[in-house]
Amino acid sequence: MSQAVFVAGVGAISAIGKNVAECLDALENSRAGIGHMHYFNSLHRERLPVAEVKMSNDELAQLSGLPTTKSRTALLSMIAATEALTDAGIENLAAFRTGFISANSVGGMDKTENFFAEFLSDNQRGKLRDVVHHECGSISELVADQLGIKEYVTTISTACSSSANSIFFGARLIKNNILDVVVAGGTDALTKFTLNGFNSLMILDEQLCQPFDENRRGLNLGEGAGYIVLVSEKVAAFLKKKPVVTLSGYCNANDAYHQTASSPDGTGSFLAMSGALKKSGLQPADIDYINLHGTGTQNNDIAEGTAIRRLFDPRYPKMSSTKSFTGHTLGGCGGIEAVFSILAIEKGIIYPNLRLQTPMKELPFTPEINFIKNIQVKNVLSNSFGFGGNCTSLIFSKS
């Protein structure tokens, strides 16, 4: 059994950049990607800000190599997964047992919604090709086929923890000598279904979100994709660019408190974080940075904060929510934030929690508000907490 799982490559596309370098530049210069709708069409376009990827479907298709007829979810996935594999620099992928474990929560719904708008007005209209790839697994299969990955392909859909779960499932497959290389992460595009659904829960902010602020009002939905390439020790030894980060800990827990709300005392969050620490063999004092789930809703932030206080008091690591930049990308957030967590270790940086003005009165700590560089970051905890109480924490460590 492999004792270590290394991160060989990273790839991301989000509202703040079409690749990792652009995302990193936006993070360093505090440029959020949240604003008025431009490409996404909604009745709420004048009221609700979103974090769109700043490219049309035609532009995304050209960048991805997929046809323009494919879902935006698939286009985003293809771009980020390709970047991650290129970054890994594995010369002969076919020589290894390779898997693609991808997460999403909307599938090809952006195309399906267009179909039904036409079909409901006239049942002789609407293009059936827009509904063929509706379900979540179809998105993963499209991208895996394009990447040439056939040994193992699967999809995970556990709401906001989806891509974090795909990453640690990939690590388990490597540790148990089932696969040598795994491209793991997730993707989601903006859809009317998700926007209207979150709006019905009354947890969307009509202004730019303020995670972990006393006066937070809700979240901003976003879109994007993030993937990392996980490899075994054997594969890592053959790479020209030697990996410097491992996935050292991971845990999934469920508090079963409510369909869409976290338990007020943060039970699921605490179990996920403490379980990841136990898996890694680290102590709370060893964590240098927490990439918070930090959606900006009243419920989520106090639940996560309460769990952090319970686990880390009295020594708190630096922490921030990068959703203040990217919005909440649902099935893609765990993958995108895994990329950001890995970069924090590789570059020795900490990201700011944008628009934090008034610290939460219930919590004895305050997230960072400035970009910090030239700092030693050895261990990063990345949180992804989803609907139904499905909570996942990942720990990345310098090897």
| Catalytic residue IDs | 160, 293, 328
Query: What is the gyration radius of the CA atoms in the chain, in angstroms?
Result: 20
Q: Is the dihedral of CA 287, 325, 347, 393 positive or negative?
A: positive
Paired tokens of 189 = 């595009």
Residue whose tokens read 């901003």: 220
Is 396 in a helix, a strand, or coil? strand
What's the rounded Cα separation, in Å, for the pair 355 and 113? 34
Is 336 in a helix, a strand, or coil? helix
Percentages (nearest 5) of helix, strand, coil residues in the chain? 40, 20, 40
Give me the numbers of helices (H) and strands (E) for the chain, helices first please.
13, 12
Tell which residue, 192, 208, 222, 212, has the closest CA to residue 337: 222
CB atoms under 10 Å from CB of 395, counted, come to 25
What's the rounded Cα separation, in Å, for the pair 200 and 211? 20
* Beta pairing partners, 103: 156, 186
Paired tokens of 86 = 């290129």
Distances (CA, A) of 109 to 49, 112, 159, 320: 20, 5, 15, 31
Question: How many residues make up the chain in this entry?
Answer: 399
Instruction: Compute the half-sphere exposure of residue 148: CA atoms within 13 Å on the CB side of its CA.
Output: 7
